Structure 1
């Protein structure tokens, strides 16, 4: 009892700030690239197909890197992985910034995706290591700060684009700033604790529980990816709104997701992870479904807002459950769940587009709503395992 009541040590408090730095930097790096996609496309004279190939290169780099990083984290510790890979992620922005051809751009984006994927898994693993020193949940706030980093990166990118700043100069300054942030953050992390992974844990593949957690991550990420590409089209094409109104849907979804993540740690401390995930899934599924079935712009925007509220806390709890089930293989379990989650993010727009070919966009967008209800039904999988 005394352990749960005592304040976290100073090292854990410093490490918390270190993890915050990595989450902000990772979000800012992605926001920086996203904001200048039109400029990169124009500078290199790329068509839509070539630009799609470039965007796919990021996914390829992330997925490939996630396959091996889990073993490295389990063997050497997340802190040792975050040091060099954080700097590599920052430096990889230089390649698309200075690349003068499509092949160079593709190579740079594969490297960028790989750095992003490795840092994503390692910082989530370290966040759970830090949380063990606290008497309350703190993980969801980290994910909220990733969103803040994305807003910072995209906001600065928007200003740079408005001023007509060359992509090379913008990305060089961004890379330097991010490198400084991750280096300062690295110095605050908890010491690495290399350990020998037990043979039984080393040999085991993906367990049923980790697979189910991966399915939950896939389902939520599919919904998130669908919102980015299809919510504006739904409002504009299906409900005949103006382009300005159409843009509100995704903005409301993203804002509610970010805001609610700042409340998530308090909610999970009060209600527990299972109740929180179940409630969030029900809010997302019923809110989105009702908003679509009413078939009115106001109802749709409210539905998108409820969908963002619902999805906000699920992924952090899924990652937390994956990273704490077996400390000896936390890195691999997180990598496996992250890979499935990333797959959902990529598959979402494609799945909705394919379904739209056979039916209406309204019906297609009911799929993410239904998957949210599936997540609610599977909520017990995030229950923490008993100690010992």
Structure 2
């Protein structure tokens, strides 16, 4: 009796400490999404200020993606050496003023470097905060990855939503300054609560090279094939609705809005679903749901049904990537930073580069056939879904 009484306050205290770690990593996801979302409404001003055309702008935006893919594996190596806490703090500090720096850069070449750095540190922080979320999952013995990604989606919506308003009312430079200050405030709140994980120096020296076992790459394929459809809806959904289904300009915008709304909502619920049914079953149900939604969108006879299809796809896709990232960070015999760098690099390459290929194909075949055929990728995810069992190792 006495023993149980003595242990109760310790358990409560420990759970409170865990909750602080969860709040901190959620704030990091919110900040990263906020920076990414804040960049989107700046693109037209960026193009006009530099006096460039769409083709040059496309190459500059490609530089954003290249920066992410270059720095993500480097971040994974540093996480293995130093732990995710130190890496996420450094990358977050560097990321905070980069949008302001990009606003002040005077010419095309410096802007190209600025976009490379912005994409690079968004990606590097992404790997580090996902690795820290994996450590928090382990310490709490419960899933939190889906809700962390929900906070990223929320940050993106806030950044994109207030960006245009602030720039229209106060100007481009004040907007960038507000973004920087808000990022630093969020980081200051999260800073003392970020979970300190321990690096394994002896193991990290051995494993900083790319993993030679197939498992990380198979989970990377799961992430890749889960994110290609997300990039397709983001970049081409509105054009498909408008040009091929006759939607108005206003209605065509609802495709990605519906997709984003259901994705954010289900990510907040996803951890509870995963804790109850397990990662493998949750992934399979999510994948089948996403497949049905994308097929409905591709075969829809009108814009309203296509939007409903995108919304259903958002329900499914919402938890596929978080489960893949949790599995990547919990693979036996591999440091979380290394597994996550493989999964995030492969996953985000699908979101960043596949839409360009999709655009080329759609130019010759139309978007309807693309959206109807993209779900074939989900069949591969289903075939690999048994590897999602590693995501449950976080619960110990």
TM-score interval w.r.t. the shorter chain?
over 0.9
Correspondences of 1:42-57 after superposition (within 5 Å): 42-57=48-63
Q: Deviations over 1:66-102 (max 9, x none)?
A: 1211111011100111112101001212221111211
CA distance in structure 2 between the aligned counterparts of 1:294 and 1:61, rounded to whole angstroms: 37
Q: Deviations over 1:222-259 (max 9, x none)?
A: 10110012111111111112111111111111111111
Do the aligned residues in 2 keep the contact of 1:206 with 1:333 (CA within 8 Å)? no
Of 302, 305, 310, which residue of structure 2 is paired with 1:304? 310
Q: Deviations over 1:11-43 (max 9, x none)?
A: 322111111111010000011111111112122
Of 145, 148, 163, which residue of structure 2 is paired with 1:142? 148
Do the aligned residues in 2 keep the contact of 1:280 with 1:376 (CA within 8 Å)? no
Aligned to 1:229: 235
Aligned to 1:40: 46
Q: Deviations over 1:267-322 (max 9, x none)?
A: 10111111111111111112221342242222211111111111000000000000
Distance 1:110-1:344 versus aligned 2 partners, 3 A rule: same
TM-score (norm 2): 0.92
Cα drift, residue 49 of structure 1: 1.8
1:244 equivalent to 2:250? Answer yes
Aligned to 1:330: 336
1:213 equivalent to 2:238? Answer no
1:316 equivalent to 2:322? Answer yes
Cα drift, residue 184 of structure 1: 2.5
Paired residue secondary structure (1:190): coil
Of 98, 107, 121, which residue of structure 2 is paired with 1:92? 98
Do the aligned residues in 1 keep the contact of 2:130 with 2:325 (CA within 8 Å)? yes
Do the aligned residues in 2 keep the contact of 1:74 with 1:328 (CA within 8 Å)? no
Distance 1:326-1:74 versus aligned 2 partners, 3 A rule: farther
Structure 1 segments, 4+ long, off by >3 Å, are 6-10, 199-204, 385-388
Distance 1:233-1:59 versus aligned 2 partners, 3 A rule: same
1:352 equivalent to 2:341? Answer no
Aligned to 1:155: 161
Unpaired stretches in structure 1, ≥5 consecutive residues: none
Cα drift, residue 57 of structure 1: 1.6
1:180 equivalent to 2:182? Answer no
Paired residue secondary structure (2:253): helix
Unpaired stretches in structure 2, ≥5 consecutive residues: none
CA distance in structure 1 between the aligned counterparts of 2:367 and 2:297, rounded to whole angstroms: 13
RMSD: 2.1
Q: Deviations over 1:175-206 (max 9, x none)?
A: 12212221331211122423224366456624
Paired residue secondary structure (2:59): helix
Range with greater deviation from structure 2 (257-266 or 324-333): 324-333
CA distance in structure 2 between the aligned counterparts of 1:204 and 1:160, rounded to whole angstroms: 43
Q: Deviations over 1:316-375 (max 9, x none)?
A: 000000001136511011001100011100123222222223423211112322212322
Of 169, 184, 195, which residue of structure 2 is paired with 1:190? 195
Paired residue secondary structure (1:132): helix
Distance 1:56-1:204 versus aligned 2 partners, 3 A rule: closer
Do the aligned residues in 1 keep the contact of 2:80 with 2:336 (CA within 8 Å)? yes
CA distance in structure 1 between the aligned counterparts of 2:301 and 2:190, rounded to whole angstroms: 47
CA distance in structure 2 between the aligned counterparts of 1:137 and 1:205, rounded to whole angstroms: 25
TM-score (norm 1): 0.93
Of 124, 130, 154, which residue of structure 1 is paired with 2:136? 130
CA distance in structure 2 between the aligned counterparts of 1:222 and 1:300, rounded to whole angstroms: 18
Aligned to 2:78: 72
Do the aligned residues in 1 keep the contact of 2:220 with 2:347 (CA within 8 Å)? yes
CA distance in structure 2 between the aligned counterparts of 1:57 and 1:204, rounded to whole angstroms: 23
1:271 equivalent to 2:277? Answer yes
Q: Deviations over 1:104-145 (max 9, x none)?
A: 211111111121111100000001111112242111100000
CA distance in structure 1 between the aligned counterparts of 2:346 and 2:275, rounded to whole angstroms: 27
Do the aligned residues in 1 keep the contact of 2:223 with 2:347 (CA within 8 Å)? yes
Do the aligned residues in 2 keep the contact of 1:11 with 1:190 (CA within 8 Å)? no
CA distance in structure 1 between the aligned counterparts of 2:351 and 2:123, rounded to whole angstroms: 13
Aligned to 1:60: 66
